[in-house]
Amino acid sequence: MTEKLRNVVLVGHGGSGKTSLAEALLFNAGVTNRFGSVDEGNAVMDFEPEELKRRNSISTAFHQFTWNKHPVNIIDTPGDQNFFSDTRLCMQAADGAAVVIDAIDGVKVQTEQAWDFADEYDMPRIIVINKVDRERADFYKAFEDAANLFSPKPIILQLPIGKEAEFKGIVDLVNMQAYTYTDGKAVKTDIPSDMQEQVETEREQMIENIAEADDSLVEKYLEGEELSHEEIIAALRKGTIEKTFVPVVCGSATLNIGVDLLASLLVDTLPSPQDRGPKTGFEPGKENEIQREPSPDAPFSAIVFKTVADPYAGRLTLFRIISGTLGEDGGFYNPNRDMKERFNQLLLIHGKEQKPASGGGPGDIVAVAKLKETVTGDTLCDAANPVLYKTAKPLEGVVTFAISPKSKGDEDKIFSSLSKLMEEDPGLKLERNEEIRQSLITGMGQIHIETTVEKLKRKYNVEVNLEIPKVPYKETFKKKVSVQGRHKKQSGGHGQFGDCWVEFEPRDRGEGYEYVDKIVGGSIPRTYIPAVDKGIQEASQKGVLAGFPVVDFRATVYDGSYHSVDSSEMAFKIAGSIAYKKAVEQADPVLLEPIMEMEVITPDEFMGDIMGDLNSRRGRVLGMDSRGKNQVVKANVPMAEVLTYAPDLRSMTGGRGIFNMRMSHYEEVPAQIAQKVIEEIKSKQE
């Protein structure tokens, strides 16, 4: 059965019609008896309340259908940047991709990103130009867009009959047959006379391209012999799987035009798990490579690509079987956690429903409930034949909010509920920042965070407040100074005495704190020297400007004195902190701010706005590059200026720009800005 199985992922920019296409495929295959609609909120593949509210996929959905005796697992992924981490992880379950392009807007940023992921997974693909029936739709322009941006080269297999509202059918260049559609049903018809010439030209071009996949066909073709239908299909399959070219078809998912031809193309040209060949892993704890064939006779192995958290049913773990077989219940070994897991029912995912499965083999996409430790990204395998696969990492988050409970005492509830959502969505990150005393949640965009908050309330009944996080400033100083730290206290019984001379000097940015002991001749006894260091370190947690930690300095203790009875570790610790406080006052203290390294990807026409905006945010542009029809700007920008960059970029580019950023380094805040920041913080503290 493995050679007949097709695992197909639908990818493309949000709004290109992937879910509608999945609905049409399921309807035509007789899996559903009504045509689900995204706009009407009754789609089988969009069922989360947050998806229904936004009319947009926010999580990958799965279903199965059979076409021409081939079982097909269809994987419908989100196209919105906010949920693209899920797309990247779930693409690992597929063997081939259908890249859906909107005939109105052509190739958009997320389509390019999905194409890059397919390259990363070395995945054969076909292109579906959808929405040919819409106003301003242009099949040829969308194709040209793809041909200019993508390799391997896209080749046309179908031509639309009519355009926009007049679009009513398709000419299939492989069969040289025209089809018109009424209520989603295809009727064979003659090729329209006004298209004859164009059809001949495009057919010629297609045969030339397809023949490239097979040398014997090239000869036959050049000698003017006619190629048989079987030869064309075989070469089309070979060329697609070997990534010599990418077939391009067209249609309208909502009118169900061309979807039947697409289903046939999916099973005819995209690879089975067998065609994809063996997968390489490693022996756990070692570097030895291990290859696992997609054969039922090989030892069992699988990769976990998604987890669904349900407050009632518990954790649902979705995995793709790479090799071997599983029964309807049993167990396996998780080499990532070095533990065995058991399950009592194997499941198939049908939209929001789960159906029991009698077993699974290579290429099958299955799920089990209530595993104890296994999470997304783990490998599952046979304990006697362990293997560990490298899996994709979630995308880095770009938007951070401070999160706090609406009700006092819900802190623990927030953390436990969010931990469950983070199992489901590894694109989320939660951390406690002690410097600014805030809990921070990071995600792929504002909408990503907002839907997480909605899910928290719906699934776990936890309500939270979101606010812009504080900036974790730091302090340092610029001058070298020598000071005495002297602590003397006399009051009945033992006194306290500690005395040290310390030189404080600035270090280069990012070098951190260093303590140097230059005591000679025992002016401070050995046992007390670490206490001076401890006193300096503790006191440096609070700077003099605005109470931020002080960094990047060296403290050298070089002299001092002690009392044989009254000196103690505590006395020298206090002396060290006194020395530090004196020094910082005299050493020209300055405020430091975190600088982010940003990469902004935007269509060419918005470049002027982006550059002007980055300059106004005190950004320093490091370089520019073109990637396809987009421009990539790399810049260093202060964190304080980009805390709300995601919605700003969205409105500047109409949602067509994307960005990523990561912490780079700290820099001195310009004096006039530092003054404002310090005043603001002090007024809040008061």
Domain coordinates in residue numbering, the chain: 6-188+245-276, 279-381, 399-467, 476-587, 594-685
Q: Are strands 153-156 and 125-130 parallel, antiparallel or unpaired?
A: unpaired
Distance between CA atoms of residues 225 and 679, nearest Å: 84
Q: What is the pLDDT, as a whole number, of residue 566?
A: 87
46 or 258, greater pLDDT:
258
577 or 211, greater pLDDT:
577
172 within 8 A of 265, measured Cβ to Cβ: no
Task: Kindly state the average pLDDT of the residues 655-676.
Answer: 90
Distance between CA atoms of residues 396 and 516, nearest Å: 39
What's this model's pTM, rounded to 2 decimal places?
A: 0.84
DSSP state of 479: S
For tokens 């998806």, name the residue. Answer: 51
Alpha-carbon radius of gyration of the chain: 32
For tokens 């896209």, name the residue. Answer: 154
Mutual orientation of helices 411-424 and 446-460 as an angle, nearest 10°?
110
Distance between CA atoms of residues 599 and 70, nearest Å: 43
- Reported as a single tens digit per residue, the pLDDT across 108-158 is 888 988 999 999 999 999 999 999 999 999 999 999 999 998 989 999 999
Please choose, from the candidates 81, 100, 11, the residue with its C-alpha nearest in 3D space to the C-alpha of residue 601. 81
Domain at 279-381: CATH architecture: Beta Barrel (2.40)
In the chain, the amino acid numbered 29 is A
Tokens of residue 485, six digits: 């730290």
651 or 225, greater pLDDT:
651
Tokens of residue 107, six digits: 């190739």
Say if residue 300's pLDDT is above 90.
yes
Say if residue 103's pLDDT is above 80.
yes
122 within 8 A of 172, measured Cβ to Cβ: no
Task: Kindly state the average pLDDT of the residues 503-516.
Answer: 94
393 within 8 A of 375, measured Cβ to Cβ: no
Q: Do domains 476-587 and 594-685 have the same CATH topology?
A: no
Helix or strand holding residue 440 (H, E): strand 438-443
Q: Are strands 96-102 and 6-11 parallel, antiparallel or unpaired?
A: parallel
Please choose, from the candidates 192, 195, 196, 168, the residue with its C-alpha nearest in 3D space to the C-alpha of residue 180. 168
Say if residue 51's pLDDT is above 70.
no
In the chain, the amino acid numbered 303 is I
Distance between CA atoms of residues 235 and 216, nearest Å: 10
Distance between CA atoms of residues 633 and 611, nearest Å: 8
Cα three-residue angle 9-289-291, rounded to 5 degrees: 50
Say if residue 332's pLDDT is above 90.
yes
Please choose, from the candidates 55, 56, 73, 52, the residue with its C-alpha nearest in 3D space to the C-alpha of residue 64. 73
126 within 8 A of 37, measured Cβ to Cβ: no
Say if residue 50's pLDDT is above 70.
no
pLDDT tier at 627, thresholds 50, 70, 90 = confident
Cis peptide bond N-terminal to 284, omega within 30: no
pLDDT tier at 235, thresholds 50, 70, 90 = very high
CATH of 476-587, one of 3.30.540.10, 3.30.230.10, 3.40.50.720, 3.30.830.10: 3.30.230.10
Lowest pLDDT segment from 7-16, 212-221, 262-271, 358-367 = 212-221
642 within 8 A of 662, measured Cβ to Cβ: no
- The sign of the torsion formed by the CA atoms of 39, 138, 98, 647 equals negative
Say if residue 677's pLDDT is above 70.
yes
pLDDT tier at 461, thresholds 50, 70, 90 = confident
Tokens of residue 118, six digits: 């397919």
For tokens 């159906």, name the residue. Answer: 355
Task: Kindly state the average pLDDT of the residues 187-209.
Answer: 93
CATH of 6-188+245-276, one of 3.40.50.300, 3.30.70.260, 3.40.50.720, 3.40.190.80: 3.40.50.300
Distance between CA atoms of residues 118 and 90, nearest Å: 11
pLDDT tier at 311, thresholds 50, 70, 90 = low
Task: Kindly state the average pLDDT of the residues 536-541.
Answer: 95
Q: Residue 243: exposed, middle, or buried by beta-carbon count in 10 A (0-12, 13-18, 19+)?
A: middle
Q: What is the pLDDT, as a whole number, of residue 68?
A: 95
Q: What is the pLDDT, as a whole number, of residue 94?
A: 97
For tokens 């202060």, name the residue. Answer: 638
- Reported as a single tens digit per residue, the pLDDT across 55-78 is 677 789 999 999 999 999 999 999
Lowest pLDDT segment from 120-124, 272-276, 446-450 = 446-450
Percent of the chain, pLDDT > 70? 98
Q: What is the pLDDT, as a whole number, of residue 2?
A: 87
CATH of 594-685, one of 3.30.70.240, 3.90.1150.10, 3.20.20.70, 3.30.1010.10: 3.30.70.240
Q: Residue 226: exposed, middle, or buried by beta-carbon count in 10 A (0-12, 13-18, 19+)?
A: exposed
Give Cα separations from 195 to 136, 187, 204, 206 (angstroms).
21, 18, 14, 16
What count of Cα atoms within 13 Å lies in the side-chain half-sphere of residue 394? 25
Determine the distance from the C-alpha atom of residue 533 to the mean position of all C-alpha atoms in its chain, rounded to a whole number.
Answer: 43
573 within 8 A of 560, measured Cβ to Cβ: no
Which residues sit opposite 540 in a β-bridge? none
Q: What is the pLDDT, as a whole number, of residue 384?
A: 94
Task: Kindly state the average pLDDT of the residues 660-683.
Answer: 90
6 within 8 A of 70, measured Cβ to Cβ: yes
Please choose, from the candidates 343, 347, 336, the residue with its C-alpha nearest in 3D space to the C-alpha of residue 391. 336
For tokens 């060329």, name the residue. Answer: 239
Helix or strand holding residue 328 (H, E): none
Please choose, from the candidates 298, 286, 40, 247, the residue with its C-alpha nearest in 3D space to the C-alpha of residue 124. 247
For tokens 């404002």, name the residue. Answer: 676
Q: Which CATH code is given to the segment(s) 399-467?
A: 3.30.70.870
Q: What is the pLDDT, as a whole number, of residue 46?
A: 64
Say if residue 417's pLDDT is above 80.
yes
Say if residue 605's pLDDT is above 70.
yes
94 or 46, greater pLDDT:
94
Cis peptide bond N-terminal to 386, omega within 30: no
Lowest pLDDT segment from 53-57, 73-77, 501-505, 553-557 = 53-57
Task: Kindly state the average pLDDT of the residues 458-469.
Answer: 89
39 within 8 A of 236, measured Cβ to Cβ: no
- Reported as a single tens digit per residue, the pLDDT across 342-398 is 999 999 999 888 899 999 999 999 999 989 899 999 999 999 999 999 999 998 888
List of long-range contacts for 648-656, beta carbons under 8 Å, 24+ apart:
648/613, 649/600, 649/602, 649/610, 650/445, 652/606, 652/609, 652/610, 652/613, 653/602, 653/603, 653/606, 653/609, 653/610, 656/108, 656/109, 656/602, 656/603, 656/606
Q: What is the pLDDT, as a whole number, of residue 503?
A: 96
The total number of residues written for the chain in this structure: 686
Task: Kindly state the average pLDDT of the residues 432-443.
Answer: 87
